[in-house]
Amino acid sequence: MGKYDVKITRDIKVVMRDGVKLSADLYQPNTEEKVPAIIVRTPYLKGTAKILETANYFAENGYGVMYMDVRGRGDSEGEFDPYFNEADDGYDSIEWLASQQWCSGDVGTMGGSYLARIQWLTALKKPPHLKAMIATVTPSDPFVEWPTGIPTPQHLCWLYMTSGKVMQDVDLLDWESIYKYLPLEEMDVNVGKVMDRWREEFQHPYLDDWWKRMCYQDKFEQIDLPVLHISGWYDDEQIGTPLNFYGMTTSAASEKARKSQKMIMGPWPHQINKSTTLGELDFGPDSLIDLNSKMLRWFDHWLKGKNDGMLDEPAIDMFVMGDNKWRQEKEWPLARTKWTKYFLHSKGNANSRFGDGWLSTDQPNESETSTDGYTYDPENPVPFITEPTSAQIGGPDNYSAVERRDDVLVYSTDTLAEDVEVTGPIKMELYATTDAVDTDFTVKLIDVWPNGFAQRLTDGIVRARFRNGMETPELIEPNKVYKYEIDCWNTSQVFKKGHKIRVEISSSAFPKYDRNPNTGEPLGKSTNLKAAEQTIYHNKEFPSAIVLPIIPSS
């Protein structure tokens, strides 16, 4: 219980610059003193039990807290056009809040996922009274999380959920069947309503000016704010948080801002800090923390001027999985990282976990001439283990059954004689050919337990036509060797003694990513599917390898 009683005023109409009225609930501490303000703008409706709990917590501790339905959602006027009105609306809302008689003029923002990205878009507008942010499970710029040129199938689930003034019940639909529909741009017919935004996104199958309105990660030098970045290793939008922390610590508008960044990474999914368990794993009682108190301390420092030595502490609190312990670090990636290539090897039959693929730090020698091949058939894609809705895409799932497939190449180290810590960004350097003019290659990093449990840690994909970037699609020449660099996001995992490090290579991860039809036709518009013959190279000339950030034992 905090210091103050709380009074609540509901459905306040805040007028935007174009006259549209947005609805907000205001939680205020019962005091005559001027207090700082916190604003949270949400498309997920402001009147939930969780919001009541969170808002009361900060109001009891001396903040005016405003939760607002974004334009077109809940009790707010206007049309909901995801992201495109949020920067100006955020600016206007912050400045309205700062002008209230009870407010000290210092305003902070917080929120997760959609609520986090719109904080960044608002920050680029430089509202004068915005003094600090807490950005949780933040989405990246377009095509960073799904570098396929078009929306992922499960994005339709999110668009449907937010397609009216109130939340739509996604559990009423058979999403597994819907995701298989072709052409992709018309997949919305199977949800029973035409989704204009879904179809509009398919008119922009690469990073053009339409998408760039949502970009912020190329503009950190314009932002002069302290930010607390929070995510989990199994957040399905995890990549954004380390990128943003690194971007702000290296490129923010001032030295003060660059030194005023903090990051918390837990063993959590998109719904952070809710349970010690995820899938079949239990990360232990220490995996949950008092996150509210950390956020309160952040705002107390920046909005109330409490100098408690917070900035003298290491910038990162991170949970190291495997060891299942929290650790503090100073920078990202860690300065002591030993970037280590683990090369693919085989005698030509790395297909499935029963094949002859192996992984080692030894570079292929001149005598190694074998390649590995498989058929990628989009009619029978490799499954990505996940629940069908967009609430959480994947976790520390067991891929041992999937690894029985011949269209999954498997490369494993010998059984580890000692613990090996991998903490940081993961990248795959893959040399491959295909007989198609466009195709995909996928990578997974796996921790293989002594009992055979194949724990997915992280993964990535490249679409061949985007091998040179999302702004410059270009089909490939069949049967020509190309080098593909595949971003596999980040992790912090101690591979324990007795375990193995494993890499899976394939060409699909459905429904996390759409199936590449291999035809080279315009993305999302075709019903044609064609099998492709894929060849992976791992010889002295073309040494395919995964680059792991190894942290030496202290």
Q: How many CB atoms lie within 10 A of CB 216?
A: 23
C-alpha 413/C-alpha 497 separation (Å) is 12
User: SS3 of 188, please?
Assistant: helix
Beta bridge partners of 349: none
Amino acid at 19: G
Q: How many CB atoms lie within 10 A of CB 23?
A: 20
C-alpha 214/C-alpha 120 separation (Å) is 10
Beta bridge partners of 265: 231, 318
Amino acid at 334: L
C-alpha 466/C-alpha 361 separation (Å) is 29
Active-site residue, 270 included: yes
C-alpha 296/C-alpha 59 separation (Å) is 10
H-type alpha helices, 252-356 = 255-258, 291-304
551: Cβ–Cβ under 8 A, 6 or more apart, which residues? Answer: 334, 336, 337, 338, 421, 422, 423, 424
One-character DSSP codes across 382-439: PBPP--SSSS----S-B-TTGGGSTTSEEEEPPPPSS-EEEEEEEEEEEEEEESSSS-
Active-site residue, 113 included: yes
Q: Scanning the structure block, which residue is given the tokens 């001439």?
A: 369
**Which of the following is catalytic: 270, 301, 345, 499?**
270
Tokens of 477: 């020449």
C-alpha 330/C-alpha 390 separation (Å) is 34
CA 204 to chain CA centroid, Å, is 21
Q: How many CA atoms lie within 13 A of 456 on its CB side?
A: 30
Amino acid at 291: L
**Which of the following is catalytic: 89, 106, 235, 300?**
235
Nearest CA to 20 out of 75, 59, 62 is that of 75
**Which of the following is catalytic: 93, 113, 507, 508?**
113
Task: Determine contact, residues 41/90, Cβ cutoff 8 Å.
Answer: yes
Active-site residue, 218 included: no
Q: In 496-544, where do the E strands start and end?
A: 500-506, 532-537
Rg over alpha carbons for the chain, rounded to the nearest Å, is 24
C-alpha 483/C-alpha 471 separation (Å) is 18
C-alpha 459/C-alpha 486 separation (Å) is 9
Q: Scanning the structure block, which residue is given the tokens 């950005």?
A: 135
C-alpha 68/C-alpha 15 separation (Å) is 12
Catalytic residues: 113, 235, 270
